[in-house]
Chain A
């Protein structure tokens, strides 16, 4: 097994090809967003051929609704205006990372259009530019060789479809991404996972890297001997990466075995045909079929000669050869799925009688398999064409697949070829001059080791590890540089806020500015550290009140000198009572002093 990774990291700031701000990863869909509707067509690449992936998408062309949040999209995202020049700040970041990784930067950058016809780009293509080749990222088992570093634009965010209309939000469209593609060097799933983590961490060292859920994504390329290169996208969670890889290896091994069986049975390629067998099911109790028929649809069936038993071959839990064929049918024809002969047909309430009638209509013998698709004729036909051509294939197809959360994957589209690329002529090539490289070198990128050492000295090992990977690292640096002690900042960010969030406190209502002023007051000993969680809770509840106000109204000012003595007296010099009442407003140190002074009291 050989496996390569593609890691995509979003950058903060404005979009790559216009001046819109990039939304935060968890930005809710803005109220008052506009909608517009488009249909995308396949286009002709430089060589004059329609790219296979584009053509495939077009075969199932749907109407697309784009939702345009006004604060995060303009005419550029709507494809109503040509792109503005490539944002030089983002180019500098990409170059800085390339130089950091020891990659060779190209002399002139050519922005390309990568054809994407699933609607995730309003233009019908993604703008992408190759910035550098080579270089490496270090990890525990050695150096991970980088193949290419690209700078590209993020696609639109998918929204739930409405019927046949795909829906996307375009606030996400155009956020800059650095893409790191590794050579296919990983030989075990665990290695690949570790590699992905190492590259992710290295990318985090770039000051402009965006942090938060979904700001870094990994695609994985997997191939086995006699198999094919398969790209799996949409891995939300790096922890399922190993099982995605394992399952893909099992799937390809299974396909290799199925192909071997097909060859030994004398199957030599596409030889199946299909027919309308609606008459077989005129009084069926199968609800899927009767529903399709009542809506004016047809039942199509195909005989797959000598394929008996193969469709039921299980690759891994929940994925059989039949599911592969079903994926093709679903995507090509928009049908709900297929019914095949290796399934328990009683489950569908298809009677034995119907099966015999079907078999005699298509002269299906015991060595043959069959597929049934019930839907509107046009959809069913398109689905049937795709299902047959997939089932009779004598090689492992090169595909782009979509990961699911259980570690499996399903077919998305054929692997796109180089025909998918043509020049973005609206943007002139950009010569990488010494001046640009010098500017890129001004962006300091710490190595992971150096940063860990530095954090260790400030925070100790366990907090240092947490802070190294934290989404709050940037804020931490800012707090520290503004005079907050590293430990207080790290504990507040990584422990206090985290446990408050677990309690259900809306900690996202606490702005970094208010957090800083709270910590400043703790540093200035105006409040005690023990009071911080309570103040934070109140701050989350009252996002419009100043920190000062919250402390006043909750009587949380730290007590000093005679105030402590007075409080002590008021509790009848009872330490238990005193702590119960004043724990949050008297510093630990002062309590120690008090205890020492009145050591003999209860």
Chain B
């Protein structure tokens, strides 16, 4: 938005955003398209798109502005190049497969975003149909049915969105999907993958979450390769919730990560997603679309299976990070929640001052108080990998005694948080919810951790 003063100036001059205008300032004359103002930068600068395509900002003070004699159409055509087109040929690609369709559900995020001139940034705007139509290679994978569930940045998602997605997947399989792809923001894709792993039991086919680390409005976007791989994966015979993203920096290979064991491990790179504690469950060749499911524990697709849907999630769970200096006062404030997932240090620790648990710095009394009042408390580790073990140190033993569950669990903190939302959505009684939480589901809790995870990092 332009400043109110500038908006008035524009109104007086009878021009509006989208007009071709002439601006004169300090002896220079500029002709171009009046652009909307991004919400960054100086709101007193007019943004003009010149014929060359460049945008420039002109400070409005002392500037005169009027409508140009050139019409918008003439301006656009004079700035365009010769009208002849070379049409890309895609005839050589495989003919559409006429069997069961893949359902593509869009939920927003970078993968369905484009440049937004209001915020001056990338925002989710495109729906599933538009995504597919802008990527010709995906037509070789048709039939693809598109549905838009909602359009949001994944950092804005609520547990209720998980439910919406679970229902969307449920409906898609009911409507004959062979597999479902969910286009999702990458930030909290791991959470959603875990949520769907819990909400959808007895899946007939694959549910693949994918996204993009570079928006599709740019040539280098990873969106096309990710969608190609994900849709290819959704046509293959397996049944599990997984995240399908670039294996590394190249547009060559995508990994399939188990929905309960995946984390976004890099803020921006293409190969950001990692399987934690286990290898990826599969891979997809980004050129051929060949899918290899490497884990033998993943069942094959079976469309006679009926989904058992349990998609209610509590939205009153707290995800607490333990840090040096956390005070009992902070912990006491958790009393309003139905449950708290504690991401503790090391093997599942928190400052309980084992040698003097009643010290004023110890959070043990506060935790005990919460537990006694019926707040479900569970422990996961902040460490990147590994198991919670609250038997080794007195700290852990005190925490267990205070009612913190999770001892022995090798689970991801985010997954454990989602699982608590789900468990409390299924069971109001904290004891029963605790039981649900501790029951392994969709590979979320590893009973054994392979040695490879402990081997030293050696470069070859």
**A residues in contact with B88, CB < 8 Å:** 55, 58-59, 61
**CB atoms of B89 and A59 under 8 A apart:** yes
Task: Please tell me if the beta carbons of A52 and B82 are within 8 angstroms of each other in the complex.
Answer: yes
| Per-position binary interface string of chain B over residues 56-97, scored 1 when its CB falls under 8 Å from any chain A CB and 0 otherwise | 111100000000000000001001111011111101100000
Give the residue of B53, B80, B117, B214 whose beta carbon is less than 8 angstroms from that of A79: B214
Min CB gap B283→A, angstroms: 15
A429-B114 contact in complex given A43-B217, A59-B88, A117-B219, C-beta closer than 8 Å: no
A428/B40 in contact, CB under 8 A? yes
> Contact mask A380-398 → B, CB, 8 Å, 1/0?
0110011001000100011
Tell me, in angstroms, the Cα distance from A43 to B135 when the chains sit together: 10
Q: Are B54 and A110 in contact (CB under 8 A)?
A: yes
B contact residues around A423 at 8 Å (CB): 38, 55, 115, 117, 120
Q: Does A176 contact B (CB under 8 A)?
A: no
Chain A residues with CB below 8 A from B352, complex form: none
Q: Does A473 contact B (CB under 8 A)?
A: no
A381-B270 in contact (CB<8A): no
C-alpha spacing A37/B76, complex, angstroms: 36
- Given that A107-B58, A112-B55, A431-B42 are contacting pairs, would A43 and B81 also be in contact in the complex, using a CB cutoff of 8 Å? no
Taken residue by residue from 35 to 47, chain B's Cβ proximity to chain A (1 for < 8 Å, 0 otherwise) reads as 0001011100101
B80 touches A417 (CB 8 A): yes
Task: Tell me which residues across on chain A come within 8 A of B370, comparing CB atoms.
Answer: none
Is the CB–CB distance between B221 and A41 below 8 Å? Answer: yes
Chain A nearest CB from B342 CB (Å) reads: 32
A37-B53 contact, Cβ under 8 Å, with A42-B219, A104-B26, A417-B80 = no
A492 sits at the interface (CB 8 A):
no
CB distance from A236 to the nearest CB of B (A): 26
A397 to B135, CA, bound (A): 28
Asked if A167 lies at the interface with its beta carbon under 8 angstroms from chain B, I say no
Q: Is B5 engaged at the interface, CB distance under 8 Å to the other chain?
A: no
CA gap between A43 and B218 in the complex, in Å: 5
CA distance A431 to B220 in the complex (A): 29
A568 part of interface (Cβ distance < 8 Å): no
Partner of B89, one of A378, A389, A414, A425: A378
B205 to chain A, nearest CB (A): 28
Cβ contacts B349-376/A at 8 Å (1 or 0 each): 0000000000000000000000000000
Within the assembled complex, what's the spacing in Å between the Cα atoms of A313 and B79? 32
Stretch at the interface among A121-129, A185-193, A587-595: A121-129
- 0/1 string, A97-139, CB within 8 A of B gives 1: 0000000101111101111110001111100111001100000
Q: Is the CB of A106 within 8 A of B58?
A: yes
On whether A108 and B41 interact (CB within 8 A), knowing A125-B219, A381-B89, A418-B79, the answer reads yes
- Other-chain contact of A421, B53, B216, B267 (Cβ < 8 Å): B53
Q: Contact at B53–A52, with CB atoms within 8 Å?
A: no
Which of A129, A416, A422 has the most chain B CB atoms inside 10 A of its CB? A422
A56 touches B225 (CB 8 A): no
Q: B249 near A113 (CB under 8 angstroms)?
A: no
Closest to B26 in A: A104
A residues in contact with B25, CB < 8 Å: 107
Kindly state whether residue B292 has any CB partner on chain A within 8 Å. no
Q: Which of B25, B42, B51 has the most CB atoms of chain A within a 10 A radius of its CB?
A: B42
Let me know if B56 and A104 touch, CB within 8 A.
Answer: no
Instruction: Point out the residues of chain A lying under 8 angstroms from B6, CB to CB.
Output: none
Contacts of B56 in A (CB 8 A): 106-110, 130
Least CB distance from A38 to B in Å reads: 5
Q: List, in ascending order, chain B residues with CB within 8 A of A117's CB.
A: 219
State how many angstroms separate the Cβ of B245 from the closest Cβ of chain A.
13
Q: Does B13 contact A (CB under 8 A)?
A: no
A397 touches B85 (CB 8 A): no
| B82 near A397: Cβ-Cβ < 8 Å | yes
* Residue A141 at the chain B interface, CB threshold 8 Å: no
| B295 is an interface residue with CB less than 8 A from chain A | no
Write the A41-55 contact mask toward B (1 if CB under 8 angstroms, else 0).
111101101001111
Please give, as numbers and ranges, the residues of chain B lying within 8 Å of A46 by CB-CB distance: 49, 115
Taken together as a complex, chains A and B put the C-alpha atoms of A110 and B35 apart, in Å, by 12
State in angstroms the CA–CA spacing of A95 and B154 once bound together.
41
For the complex, give the distance between the alpha carbons of A36 and B120 in Å: 31
**Nearest A-chain residue to B225, judged by Cβ:** A39
B116 contact set on A, CB distance < 8 A = 425
Interface residue? B316 (CB, 8 A): no
A385-B86, A422-B217, A423-B120 given as contacts; is B38 within 8 A of A41 (CB)?
A: no
Query: Which residues 57-90 of A sit at the B interface, judged by CB distance below 8 A?
Result: 58-59, 61, 63, 75, 78-82
- Distance between Cα atoms of A398 and B78 in the complex (Å): 13
A415 at the interface (CB under 8 A from B): yes
Tell yes or no: B252 within 8 A of A by CB. Answer: yes
- The answer to whether the Cβ of A419 comes within 8 Å of any Cβ in the partner chain is yes
Q: Is the CB of A36 within 8 A of B248?
A: yes
Asked whether A44 lies within 8 Å of B134 as measured between CB atoms, the reply is yes
Q: Does A223 contact B (CB under 8 A)?
A: no
The residue that B50 contacts in the complex, of A107, A129, A130, A431, with Cβ under 8 A, is A130
B122 at the interface (CB under 8 A from A): yes
In chain B between 216 and 254, which residues have their CB closer than 8 angstroms to a CB of chain A?
216-221, 224-225, 248-252
The smallest beta-carbon distance between B127 and chain A, in angstroms, is: 15
Q: Is B89 a contact of A123 with CB atoms below 8 Å?
A: no
A251 at interface (Cβ–Cβ under 8 A)?
A: no
**A40 interface residue, CB < 8 Å from B?**
yes
Question: Known: A36-B249, A108-B41, A431-B45. Is A415-B58 also a contact (CB below 8 A)?
Answer: no
CB-defined interface of A137-173 with B at 8 Å, one 1/0 digit per residue? Answer: 0000000000010100000000000000000000000
Chain B's closest residue to A110 (CB) is B55
A430 to B25, CA, bound (A): 18
Q: How distant is the Cα of A58 from the Cα of B25 in the complex, in angstroms? A: 41
Give the top 10 A-B pairs by smallest Cβ distance, nearest first.
A124-B219, A108-B57, A421-B53, A429-B41, A418-B53, A418-B79, A417-B81, A107-B59, A428-B40, A110-B55
Q: List 7 A-B contacts (CB under 8 A).
A: A38-B251, A47-B76, A116-B219, A134-B28, A378-B92, A417-B81, A419-B53
Interface positions of A (Cβ within 8 A of B): 36-44, 46-47, 49, 52-56, 58-59, 61, 63, 75, 78-82, 104, 106-110, 112-117, 121-125, 128-130, 133-134, 148, 150, 332, 377-378, 381-382, 385-386, 389, 393, 397-398, 414-423, 425, 428-431
